[in-house]
Structure 1
Amino acid sequence: MKLKLDVAEMAEEFFEDAHLMGIVAPIRDYQFCWHLNQHLRFRFRVNVDLEIQMTKKNRHYYFPIYEYQEPQLYRAHYLYRNQHDGEYLLPEFRHLDYIWLTKGENIQEGLITEIAQTIRSFNGVQLVVEMTNEKIRNKEHLIF
């Protein structure tokens, strides 16, 4: 008997309380996180347990995920690096350097807008765009 993993259902559950932004900022991830931590008063840290590993053409690619859990709130922020050594986590969005995912309860649209405006003010940031998970073809790459 073969069991089949229902990725579509898993993705639907994962994204049901999520907001996504795409960011074009050709700067190092640690520098970008430093700006986020300074300007938004967040505490992004790399979470090696969430790192996404991909194998293509007998090569291994590693995509770090930075995480910040808001204290006293059921809300978490995840920052994915979209590119590693010429390979992309989301190939349909090659132009994006980072994917920002906010998950949690009671996320007001104003919060996402405020975060996006703050990020736009950073030196080196060229674009911040809100995304919908329906437009992502490789949703399973974001699920941890």
Structure 2
Amino acid sequence: MKLRIDNDVMVEEFFADTRLLGIVAPIEQYRFCWHLNQMLNFNFRINNSIEIQLNKKARKYFFPIYEYGEQAGTIKHYLYNNEDDGEYLLPEFKHLDFLWLIKDDIMHDDDVGLLTSSIRTIPSVQLITELTNEKIKNKQHLIF
């Protein structure tokens, strides 16, 4: 008997109760996290154990993920770098520098709006937008 991994089910389960923001900010990821931590009173830290590794064109590409868990709830925030040496985690969104995944609990529209307007105040942020699941072709690249 062969066991098969059902990628569709895995993707669906991973993205249950999530929101995904795309951010254009031409700045290093660690600097961006520093700004977020200072301005939003978050505590983003790099989590090397969930780093995404993609194998393309006989090369390995690494996409670090910074993580922050809210103390007053179950919401977790994950900040992905969308580019490594000319390769993209989500190639359909090459213009985005960062992907911000909000996971493990429902974040209401008002809270997402407040968060996005706060992120916009960071000097290097040029654009922030919410990405809908239908627009994301390579969702499996975000699963850690």
Q: CA deviation at 1:82?
A: 0.2
- Aligned structure 1 segments of 4 or more residues deviating by more than 3 angstroms: none
| Equivalent residue letter for 1:120 | R
Please give the residue correspondences for 1:29-48 in structure 2 after superposition, counting only pairs within 5 Å: 29-48=29-48
1:70-97 CA distance string (max 9 Å, x none): 1131110000000000000000000000
Residue 104 of structure 1 and its aligned partner are, at CA, apart by: 2.5
How far apart, CA to CA, are the structure 2 residues paired with 1:106 and 1:86?
34
Q: Matched residue of 1:4: which SS? A: coil
Partner residue, 1:97: 97
Match in the other structure for 2:135: 135
**Could you tell me how far apart the structure 1 residues matched to 2:124 and 2:34 are?**
13
Gaps of 5+ in 2: none
Query: Residues 105-134 of structure 1: CA distance to partner in whole angstroms, max 9, x if unpaired?
Result: 242211111111111111111100011122
| Whole-Å separation in 1 of the counterparts to 2:74 and 2:135 | 26
How far apart, CA to CA, are the structure 1 residues paired with 2:79 and 2:106? 20
Query: Could you tell me which amino acid in structure 2 is paired with residue 63 of structure 1?
Result: F
**Aligned residue for 1:13?**
13
User: Which position in structure 2 is the counterpart of 1:109?
Assistant: 109
CA contact (8 A) 2:18 2:106 kept: no
What letter is aligned with 2:69? Q
Percent pairwise identity: 56
CA distance in 1, matches of 2:98, 2:105: 23
TM (norm. structure 1) is 0.96
Match of 2:68? 68
Deviation at 1:9, TM superposition (A): 0.8
Q: Following TM superposition, by how much is the alpha carbon of 1:43 offset from its aligned partner in structure 2, in angstroms?
A: 0.2
Which letter maps to 2:9?
Answer: E
* Cα distance in 1 between the residues matched to 2:10 and 2:106: 21
Q: Structure 1: where are the runs of 5+ without partners?
A: none
